[in-house]
Amino acid sequence: MDYNFSASFWRKRAVKAALDRRDDNRTWCGFRFRKFPSDGIAMQELLCRCRPQVLVELGTQYGGSTLFFSSFAAQAGIETIVTADIVALERPDVPIATFLTGDDTSPEIFAQIKELVGDRTCSVVIDSDHRAEHVDKELELYAPLVTPGQALIMEDTHVDVLDFKKFRENGGPLRSIQKYMPKHPEFELTTDIEPYITSNFFGYWVKKSS
């Protein structure tokens, strides 16, 4: 597989225009939902296909995405959402969610998440600190929690694809994907999930079934 991912000029231009319109600054049932609507649809499609018992979300922020995931949890077979963020903000009441506060790469938070997952099937969504240095650590810790047939979704790779100045020197999530995945061929990039307007270029992966 070629891990030198690239997107067409017109696609990048369309995503940039959507960002300029702040199409990623939406709400879900009154709570901020910092995703493109098209990525939300893609995530529910993939998670309904994979049907994890536990969904781990790294990067809670305002909890809009946690609420979004819970809205189709029953249809996707999701029993529990475990979500972590470095900052505790006002968030919605989500009965199936456990909210954790702290650095998701710290031994304490990782141990709590691993215990909550237990031996159940697990998908992971990575959407916290987008610096490659941090994402590298998240992949090393959390990619092994993804069970066969389950999803690993890497958000906001657009910071690399669109060459954001803040991430130009040290890289963002896509650079971490390009570093990690060649060593882990058990993960396959999906070819039918990623929408045209996305902030998660090349970010939808599934661990091969045993």
Q: How much is the pTM?
A: 0.96
DSSP string, 83-138: EEESS-------TTEEEEES-TTSHHHHHHHHHHHTTS-EEEEE-S---HHHHHHH
Among candidate residues 105, 102, 62, 53, the one with its CA nearest the CA of residue 81: 53
Q: Domain residues of the chain, as ranges?
A: 25-207
pLDDT value for 89: 81
Q: Find the farthest-apart pair of alpha carbons in the chain and give their distance in angstroms, rounded.
A: 44
CA 146 from centre of chain = 12
Distance, in Å, from the CA atom of 103 to the CA atom of 138, rounded to the nearest integer, reads: 10
* Token representation of residue 170: 């040290």
Res 62: pLDDT: 87
Residuewise pLDDT in 10s, the chain (210 residues): 888 899 999 999 999 999 999 998 999 999 999 999 999 999 999 999 999 999 999 999 889 999 999 999 999 999 999 999 998 887 899 999 999 999 999 999 999 999 999 999 999 999 999 999 999 999 999 999 999 999 999 999 999 999 999 999 999 999 999 999 999 999 999 989 999 999 999 999 999 987
Count other Cβ atoms within 10 Å, centred on residue 183.
7
Architecture of domain 25-207: 3-Layer(aba) Sandwich (3.40)
pLDDT computed for residue 199 by the predictor = 97
Report pLDDT for 163: 95
Q: What was the pLDDT predicted at 69?
A: 98
